[in-house]
Amino acid sequence: MQQLDLLAARLADHGVGPGGDTRGSHDPRQAALESHLDALRERLGDLERSGAAATAGADTRLQLARTLVGLDRGAEAWPLGRAAFNDFLAVDDFESAADACDVLFQAGQPDSICALGQGIWLAVTCPVDPELSIDLLRHVIDETPDDADGAAVAASTALFLADVRAQGKHRDDLMFFSTQTLGNVARRHSGVQTPEQFDRWMERLELKEPDKFLMRLRSVVEVLVRDDWWFDRDALRDRLPFAADQWS
């Protein structure tokens, strides 16, 4: 588990801390984000005054959180994203809940690593858009040390989800992207250069069998979450029409 602990430590160093306040800048992109932020706040106020459904407010809170993250104001984004996550999960909108976890990770707060673990669990267990699932796994791929197996496990899972969940051209695009990512991970992990080396590397790390690499991904998620689960996983599984047997 030492390498997984190192992964958590690396993720902790990745932007975790209060977001900087850049409101004094004259950057046109920032000005546009500030204007969008004002419009979203006004919309949220209107929804709250009208007694709109919680999910309507959740969508706006998540957009607010995403905009604040874009402005490097992660500390302000966190409570909005966290509230949105709770509202989405309450109505079994698992995809939006996973999206909220992605925003919470990017907010760079003390519990952002935990949010990433929750999001990956939802993305693998629930019928979530494979592109969003791959985005969440990409955070692990990018931050895992070169000699650790976590990136290989995450990249193999991304390829697996693209294969079984996407369709048509979308599937082709995601499969191409995920295959390229897995090849890059193999090069940085073990200096893999040829198809024969790649095949042996896949065999050695047991990356051809979903029941094995998904179980290893579960260990990565457990390290990220550190037993601070925001929901009852067993109760959630019971509400699903299906779940990944290998993951359960």
CB crowding 78-92: b at 16 or more within 10 Å, else e: bebbbbbbebbbeee
State the pTM of this model: 0.86
Give 21's pLDDT tier (boundaries 50, 70, 90). very low
Mean pLDDT over each residue of the chain, to the nearest integer: 88
Q: How far is CA 74 from CA 12, 30, 110, 157, in A?
A: 14, 15, 10, 29
Q: CB–CB of 156/213 below 8 Å?
A: yes
**Does pLDDT of 60 surpass 50?**
yes
> Which helix (DSSP H) or strand (DSSP E) does residue 240 occupy?
none
Give 9's pLDDT tier (boundaries 50, 70, 90). low
Q: Which of 159, 161, 154 is nearest to 216 (CA)?
A: 154
**Does pLDDT of 16 surpass 90?**
no
Q: Which of 70, 142, 127 is nearest to 97 (CA)?
A: 127
Per-residue confidence (pLDDT) for residue 40, from 0 to 100:
85
Q: What percent of the chain has pLDDT over 90?
A: 70
Per-residue confidence (pLDDT) for residue 242, from 0 to 100:
62
- pLDDT tens readout for residues 132-158: 999 999 999 998 998 899 999 999 999
Supply 19's token pair: 């977001």
Helix (H, G, I), strand (E, B) or coil at 227: coil
**Does pLDDT of 13 surpass 80?**
no
202 or 28, which is more confident: 202
- pLDDT tens readout for residues 154-188: 999 999 999 999 999 999 999 999 999 999 999 99
**Does pLDDT of 17 surpass 50?**
no
**Does pLDDT of 130 surpass 70?**
yes
Per-residue confidence (pLDDT) for residue 185, from 0 to 100:
97
Backbone angles phi, psi at 110, to 5 degrees: -55, -30
Give 108's pLDDT tier (boundaries 50, 70, 90). very high
Rounded Cα distance, 161 and 157, in Å: 6
- pLDDT tens readout for residues 80-105: 999 999 999 999 999 999 999 999 99
Terminal Cα-to-Cα distance of the chain (whole angstroms): 20
Compute the radius of gyration of the chain from its Cα atoms: 19
Per-residue confidence (pLDDT) for residue 18, from 0 to 100:
37
